[in-house]
Structure 1
Amino acid sequence: MSTIKKIGILGGTFDPPHVGHLRLATHFAKLLKLDALLLIPSGEPWQKGSGITPAETRLQLTEAAGIDLARAFLYLKIPTQAGIDRIEIDRARPSYAIDTVKALRERFGSSASLNWLMGVDSLVALPNWNSWEKLSQYVNFAVANRPRHDLKQKMNPEVHQFLEDHQTMQAAALENSPAGLIYIDKSLNVDLSSTELRGQLKSSSRSSIASKKIPTHTLEIITKLGLYQQSS
């Protein structure tokens, strides 16, 4: 039995969290045999511009989604512990992943396997992240395919070289590696666009879309707070 602690990190604006996030989390929790999976809502998402729901509200929505994630783990007999971390919310400056992974590495120690979960669209956009080329010193990347995102077509030379240097074809390799590997999972096609979902929630078919795409407990809070309504 491996004694290395295996941690999954799923960061994002979570505006709002949706079933795509939970599918991604559940898939990699099982595949990578994660001990814990942290949902980390961003504080000030510097790349997203204005119009983002306040951080404390997004944290509340993410905590609600965490209840549904924990129940999914229980139902599927996945022994991963689900947690919500406010590390970026509490940071009094824009959210940079590099600061987060440094802090998590300090928290969990040098031998822990830290795995940043993301969609392939985020992998393609990595060169836009602050100090992105240093991230692999602190974490592995577990990447899910996304519909309408062809990695080969959208990948620039920097990302291509990053993959050449770090990609592994074996998911199990991440379990024994603290950092430095990239695994692209082709079995999961998941749509992770909160931006599109916010637009859909402002349409006339809001109720049917919401019940299919938003976790139950998150939807209760969205309804209670009157979020993502069509502006009059």
Structure 2
Amino acid sequence: MGKRIGILGGTFNPVHVGHLRSALEVAEQLDLDELRLIPNARPPHREAPQVSAQDRLAMVEQAVAGVPLLTVDDRELKRDRPSYSIDTLESLRAELAVEDQLFLVLGWDAFCGLPTWHRWESLLDHCHILVLQRPDADSEAPQALRDVLAARSVSDPQALAGPSGQIAFVWQTPLAVSATQIRNLLASGKSVRFLVPDAVLAYINARGLYRAQN
């Protein structure tokens, strides 16, 4: 049996309980050896975060400290180019054994946007895709993805076989928390306690992050 490794990317600006709860649920449900949170340096589909990569990395490290299943991978922060998932997957694959399983964890909205990703059709050559499906998701996948789902989807995520190539849906506890909401609360001087881990909140306060500039 090879290793079972999940990856969850994002700007984590800041990392919050929604990210962390999703990561932990997937890691436990799929019996992963580890799930790596991978902060983006320059996300291709959105504006660059106003908080430094070093601060975002530090917050994720604080958030997962003491949680054995969750780890942090900073490889995208070391690249001087946009954070394309295909590059990350190819880099990871080069480090893993042939039989190791790699699981790319995506929210439903990100999954629906896959056809706009760089070399998106090559992703499944390197990993399985786990789609976090919330009960309140009401949008439909675009036609290009429906064709891929028809050919590659597996109804039971526990039945994903081999190192890569298939798609499964994982039901999630819906936590209506967003990084945008947290940034707005902080900018207006309101509390974000219980939306982020205490260690992350202490880091934000110590560094004065996301506060309104006078």
Q: Normalized against structure 2, the TM-score is what?
A: 0.92
Tell me the percent identity: 35
> Structure 2 CA distance, aligned partners of 1:163 and 1:6?
22
Which has the higher mean CA deviation after the structures are superposed, 42-51 or 123-132?
Answer: 42-51
1:147–1:191: 8 Å Cα contact kept in structure 2?
no
CA contact (8 A) 2:13 2:51 kept: yes
Give the alignment of 1:75-224 within 5 angstroms.
80=69, 82-146=70-134, 148-152=136-140, 155-174=141-160, 176-191=161-176, 193-204=178-189, 206-207=190-191, 210-224=192-206
Matched residue count: 214
Q: What secondary structure sits across from 2:118 in the alignment? A: coil
Post-superposition CA distance 1:35-66 (Å, at most 9, x none): 01111101111221144321111111111111
Residues 127 and 197 of structure 1: is their aligned pair in 2 closer, same or farther, counting only changes over 3 Å? farther
What is the alpha-carbon distance in structure 1 between the residues aligned to residue 47 and residue 167 of structure 2?
Answer: 29
Which amino acid in structure 1 is aligned with residue 6 of structure 2?
Answer: G
Can you list the C-alpha shifts for 1:68-102, whole angstroms capped at 9, x where unaligned? 6x0xx6xxxxxx3x221111000111110000000
Deviation at 1:191, TM superposition (A): 3.9
SS at match of 2:162: coil
Provide Cα deviations, 1:169-206, integer angstroms capped at 9, x if missing partner. Answer: 111123x42111111123532446322332233235x2
What is the alpha-carbon distance in structure 1 between the residues aligned to residue 56 and residue 134 of structure 2? 24
In structure 2, give the amino acid aligned to 1:181. Answer: Q
**Is the contact made by 1:144 and 1:188 (CA closer than 8 Å) also made in structure 2?**
no
Closer, same or farther in 2 for the Cα pair 1:191/1:181, shift >3 Å? farther
Deviation at 1:148, TM superposition (A): 4.9
SS of alignment partner, residue 44 of structure 1:
coil
Corresponding letter in the other structure for 2:105: L
Counterpart among 34, 47, 50 of residue 49 in structure 1: 47
Q: Secondary structure at the residue paired with 2:168?
A: strand
Quick check: 1:138–1:180 contact (8 Å CA) kept in 2? yes
* Cα distance change, pair 9–192 in 1 and its aligned pair in 2 (3 A): farther
TM-score (norm 1): 0.86
Q: Is the 8 A contact 2:177 2:195 kept in 1?
A: no
Q: Aligned equivalents of 2:49 and 2:10: distance in 1?
A: 15
Question: Which letter maps to 1:156?
Answer: P
SS of equivalent residue, structure 1 residue 221: helix
State the alpha-carbon separation in 2 of the partners of residues 5 and 14 from structure 1. 26
C-alpha distance after superposition, 1:117-173 (max 9, x if no partner): 121111111112111111011111111124653242xx2111211211211111112
Q: Greater helix share, 1 or 2?
A: 1
Q: Taking structure 1 as reference, are residues 34 and 58 closer, same or farther at Cα in structure 2, changes over 3 Å only?
A: same
Let me know the Cα RMSD of the aligned residues.
Answer: 1.8
Q: Which residue of 1 aligns with 2:63?
A: 65
